[in-house]
Amino acid sequence: MTESILSAKHVSKVFVTRGDGAVFAGTTRFTAVDDVSFEVPRGKTLGIVGESGSGKSTTARIVAKLIDPTEGTLEFEGDDVTKPSGRALAAFRSNVQVVFQDPFSSLNPRHTVEKIISAPLDYQGITPKQGKRALVRELLERVGLNADHAQRYPGQFSGGQAQRIGIARALAVSPKLVICDEAVSALDVSVQARVINLLNELQAELGLSYVFIAHDLAVVRQIADTVAVMSKGRIVEQGDRDAIFGHPQHEYTKTLLAAVPQINPEWELERVRMLAAEGAVE
């Protein structure tokens, strides 16, 4: 058993909304994440898959400390980070960074690439020893971009390039854990593969740990070491990648796998069997 860098224990998130703004309307409670527990092994990748509304993005936002969980605890490197404040939160932010889904809307269109990438340094009051400008150039080259493009604006890049800028920003404060919230979902399939390749390389070079959220099983298969499958706010199955993809135990996982068009004849056979079974039920 490998040591885990982050662990979530019995985490739940309930959203309370006031009904339609009417004066006497009651409140609506919606449980987005329901009693979820998982561990992220150090230097490895935990993939979280699920369809829209399964609570995987809420889970990502909880882990990134963008929202607080209603119940449960989070531990990062053994320290409790469920509701950190002040210094503890600042320390957490320098260790955990996020790569967002839409590369363009997550980059401020009015800032140069240099300003975007160095923003986490400015916000956390960190001065890199080689200088900010040099660090930005280093990061740009590390993610496979031209370092001379530091003075350009996000609108001048393609989607894949923009997402590399988002990755460079996440790396600026030398984090230990990077949360990729649907980080490749908005990209073309070929570009997806290259960005995943880059993430795998960075993991090997820098020893990063990832929480990789996606709805696309093929993508998760390429990057994850362990996989958690979410449905309706709960983790229905989790375990080793090969176990999940090879021998799914839960019905939902099987349905998810069956819904993916396959090129492997064996999987295709399984898919046909699944669909046939479904048809028989109906």
Partner 1 sequence: MSTVPSELAVESEAKGALPTGGAPTPARRVIATLMKSPAVVVSVCIIVFIALLAVCAPLLAVITGWGPYDFDKSAIDSDLGGIPIGPLGGISAEHWLGVEPGNGRDILVRVAYGAQVSLTIALSATLVTMTLGVVLGMVAGFFGGLADQIISRVMDFLMAFPTLIFMIALLSALPAGNRPVLLVIVLSIFGWPYTARVIRGQTMTLRNSEFVEAARASGARPMRIAFREVLPNLRGTIIVLATLAVPGYIGTEAGLSFLGVGVMPPTPSWGQMISTAVGWYAVDPMFFLIPGTFLFLTVFSFTVLGDHLRTALDAGDAA
- State the residues that interact with partner 1 by CB under 8 A: 64-66, 89-90, 93-94, 97-98, 100-102, 105-111, 119-120, 123-124, 143-146, 149, 152-153, 155-158, 160-161, 164, 166, 169, 173, 190-191, 193-194, 196-198, 221-222
Cα–Cα distance, 242 to 187 (Å, whole number): 25
For residue 25, the minimal CB distance to partner 1 (Å) is 19
For residue 105, the minimal CB distance to partner 1 (Å) is 4
For residue 262, the minimal CB distance to partner 1 (Å) is 13
**Running DSSP on this structure, what letter comes out for residue 150?**
G
Residue 193 burial (10 A CB sphere; 0-12, 13-18, 19+): middle
Among residues 234 and 241, whose Cβ is nearest to partner 1?
A: 241
Among residues 219 and 230, whose Cβ is nearest to partner 1?
A: 219
Among residues 107 and 257, whose Cβ is nearest to partner 1?
A: 107
Strand 45-49 with 209-214, pairing: parallel
The strand pairing partners of 9, in sequence order, are 73
CB 253 within 8 A of CB 235: no
CB 70 within 8 A of CB 55: no
> Taking the mean position of all CA atoms in its chain, how far away is CA 171?
14
CB 177 within 8 A of CB 95: yes
For residue 145, the minimal CB distance to partner 1 (Å) is 6
Among residues 198 and 206, whose Cβ is nearest to partner 1?
A: 198
Among residues 36 and 168, whose Cβ is nearest to partner 1?
A: 168
For residue 81, the minimal CB distance to partner 1 (Å) is 14
